[in-house]
Chains A and B, each alone.
Chain A
Amino acid sequence: DIRMTQSPSTLSASVGDTVTITCRASQSVVSWLAWYQQKPGKAPKLLIYKASNLETGVPSRFSGSGSGTEFTLTITGLQPDDFATYYCQHYITYPYTFGQGTKLEIK
């Protein structure tokens, strides 16, 4: 099975900051990677699919990059609504494992 490792596990930042979350796969997933945002008590929300494609309706301050085994999610100009937990997930072969999550907190 492919293991997905996110870093950091927790990230403290301020409104207006630019932050980057990294997701590493234990083997290549090519570009079959998605990023999700989840807020407490809510279902996850798809932000990025196929590593770098912005889901419809997602603000352009979110961007994804990478291929193979290393991927990043960047949020440029944090807004108060962005403080949440973020997950990556690969889609290359079953099982489609998630990373352990990165909690983005207000500094």
Chain B
Amino acid sequence: EVQLVESGGGLVQPGRSLRLSCAASGFIFDDYAMHWVRQRPGKGLEWVSAISWNSDSLGYADSVRGRFTISRDNAKNSLYLQMNSLREEDTALYYCAKDISGDGGCDFWGQGTLVTVSS
């Protein structure tokens, strides 16, 4: 059974940093690209970032480029999102999601970790 478990969320002051983690199990992690998607309270889905299976290809939303860094450790079956210079508008539920592999789409999602940026 595929499982994605996010962690690392919490309350943080504006300008500070936070690192999210996603522990993956139930599939061959290093065969798949992975994504971070967020959802602000009461709002729609916003794609944040993606990383290819071998970390060669990285993508970011305009709203986070230069502040957030996606990475993965295939030996640990883990995905990360380093979030620096956090802003109040980064307050959201952050989902980790598995790419369907070549066909476009994320077929498995975690339950999300909540990040609240507030002074």
Contacts and interface: CB of A to CB of B under 8 A. Distances in A.
Interface of A: 1, 32-34, 36, 38, 43-46, 48-50, 53, 55, 85, 87, 89, 91, 94-101
A34 to B, nearest CB: 4
Contacts of B100: 46, 49, 55
B59 A55 contact: no
Interface in B12-46: 35, 37, 44-46
Given A95-B47, A96-B59, 13 more contacts: A34-B105, A46-B105, A49-B104, A49-B107, A55-B107, A89-B45, A94-B59, A95-B59, A96-B35, A96-B50, A99-B44, A100-B44, A101-B45
A33 B107 CA distance: 13
Nearest to B100: A49
Interface of B: 35, 37, 44-47, 50, 59-62, 95, 100, 103-107, 109-112
Given A49-B105, A91-B105, A38 B50 contact: no
B103 A98 contact: no
Nearest to B112: A43
Contacts of A55: 100, 105, 107
A57 B11 CA distance: 37
Contact of A95 (B60, B105, B109): B60
